[in-house]
Structure 1
């Protein structure tokens, strides 16, 4: 084990053999009580339970992918687009007692692979990441989820997204001018969210949100509260860029006492380097339209477009939320006793 700290989400490298692009691997571990990491966890509650956010898992994957890229291309090599795909966190780590977070650890093992008959190059490599909750001594307790990461040229993303720009901005304008839409400020938006997710602290990044319950569309203006000088920003940035999707699902649900929409996975997260919430004087917004899956009407799915300074700079593809009865939710995610 080494003591190399890549970031607050990747605190210890337990083992590393990443020179081989076929079957190389790296394992990292992190304590949830780390002072830089802990606020990103304790300010994220689902059903009133402190729960590790999806943005933590994506940050871990992005951090290790960047580490592997620099190992092969050099410390100063500019990063390509990092496509985090097939993300599923089926059993997120639950924090039952926030005063005992020093006993809670996450481990991620990343394995490298190449397609058959492919020239050995880092750009052809796929990373397979598996997350486990572990004991402080390193015993695996439960698998939490998994994802893959691919290295892609983000200029191709930007070119593809530019073709969608006029449509997306026209829908945003229509939402904001439509008399049937509702527009809410930050306080009201996160009050509506509270039926399932309780975001506090620097997760409350939607300064305003317009949504239409009939079309399941929403757009929000984003003002990110976390600052790189003082905060660990990754989970806040990732979650904040896309949680308008979960907002529209839960905000339009008519029977909030009986039902809730829970995260059901993400097909792909593509945030280009042009997505930069720390930039001074920047304007960031997003847009999504959710729709029921043809084969399962209890699942809503949509693509979240992230816009900054007049162009689409990121996209969350196939964000899914599943409607479940609250009585079922209370079984596997029981709220704290009052």
Structure 2
């Protein structure tokens, strides 16, 4: 069967508002709203997102029909040309590092207290141009996945390991959003699911959802599948990184994709429909996120996030 596909390029609120920090705009669907409107109106049949931009609760009637194999999820440091060969740890006192992420800033302030952090907005081209052509920043921090997908690996000066900076929920993965009742498109895109990525991202999204987190508070994760064990590390931070809670939990999962649909056709886990991935494993991944969130909440995570949200709103 020959399938003809038309690509429709669109821009969103998050693409258009470039003079305000993402955490200050106050819109939950910064990079998805316009795309979902087109999907709802049947102007398009599927939309492709950076999964980290998709809220953990989708609008009624929509589902994530595919999560593609994850690119490297870590953050990357891009240094000003005058600092070639250095790293965040070797930059001089009070060097300015650009990032639009509260999550990155909170962790890096804690890890590299000699540095200062300043908002920087725009697409990759814009941010790299701001770095290269001015002396406002000694470095900027970006998702390594975006740089690699653009073929700009050579710009990466340093990859930040989880010990330095854990990543955002869903970072590095692409999510394909479709209409839930469009079984033909849902079946078609479901072949794109990457089982390990799906289970890791379900756990991460579940953790975020149960914490009631978002871009206005610093929440970070790190997931690994080793054999039949899924490990989830999650953390919450104060805005300045001085206060934090972090812990790790694990659960058993199966990463064997089935040729036939597994269980309930309509089962969703934090907005994800993955018919050929064992429902028991998806449910275990979702429960893992909830259990870890509850553990951190029992230790005071809600208070840390509430204060972080209030301070961010007041800035």
> Where on the TM-score scale, by shorter chain, does this alignment land: which range?
under 0.3
TM-score by length of 1: 0.24
Bigger RCO (CA 8 Å, 6+ sep): 2
Give TM-score, length-normalised by structure 2: 0.25
Larger fraction in strand? 1
